[in-house]
Amino acid sequence: MTIHVAFLRGVNLGRRQIKSADLKDEFESMAFERVRTLLASGNVIFEGGPREGLQERIEQALNKRFGFEVGTVLRTQDELRALVAADPFRGRKEDKNTKLYVTFLALPPPAPLPMPFGAEGDFEVVKQTDREVCIVGFRQPNGRFGLGMEAVWKHFGKQVLWTSRDWNTVVKAAEK
C-alpha cells in the first residue's frame, strides 16, 4: 500500500469548516487505512492503492459529506520526502521575518512562471517544477508574510488546482 498525503484546498477558512475527527472518519469510510490528520488545516495522511482516480474519489466523497467543494492535491509520502531531501530552499531557515511555502499543483500548469518571479522585500520564488512552486515570503509592515504571493496563484488561474502549505507542514507530512 502507498502512503498518500491529501492537501485539501480552502478547508477551515470562513464557513468551510471541517473538524479533523470528521475528516478522519470520512477517509476511513472510503476504506483507507492508517488515516491521520496533520494540524487543522486540511492535511490527511493515509494508506491507499494507486493514485489513479483517487483525487476524484476523495473530492466526490468530501463534497457529498460536507456540502461544499473540496479541491484535493495528492502527493505520496515518498514524493514529499524527496522534495524535503532536495532542499529547494537551499538551507534557508524560517525566522520571525521569513516564511517558507510550497504551492502544490494538482496538474502541470499550461505555462510555468516566468523566472525570476517575485517582488523585492515581499516574496521570491526560489524553485519551480511542474508540480510545486517553492516561495520565500518576507514579513510586511502589517505583520503578514508575502502579500504579493497572490501573483503566483493568479498566474495559474482557475484552470489549475493548487494549494499552499508552509514548509514546516510539508516536513511534518514527510516524516509522519
- SS3 state at 163: strand
Assign 3-class secondary structure to 113-137: CCCCCEECCCEEEEEECCCEEEEEE
Question: For 75-115, how does the pLDDT look when each residue is reduced to its tens digit (9 = 90+)?
Answer: 999 999 999 999 999 999 999 999 999 999 999 998 899 99
- Tens of pLDDT, residues 26-78: 999 999 999 999 987 789 999 998 889 999 999 999 999 999 999 999 999 99
Give dist(CA 49, CA 35) in Å, integer.
13
Backbone dihedral region of 72: left (phi > 0), alpha (psi from -120 to 50 degrees) or beta?
Answer: beta
CATH classification at residue 71: 3.30.70.1280
Burial class of 176 by CB neighbour count within 10 A (0 to 12, 13 to 18, 19+): middle
In a domain, 45, yes or no: yes
The pTM assigned to this predicted structure is 0.93
In a domain, 14, yes or no: yes
In a domain, 134, yes or no: yes
State which residues form the domain around 35. Answer: 2-78
3-class DSSP state for residue 57?
helix
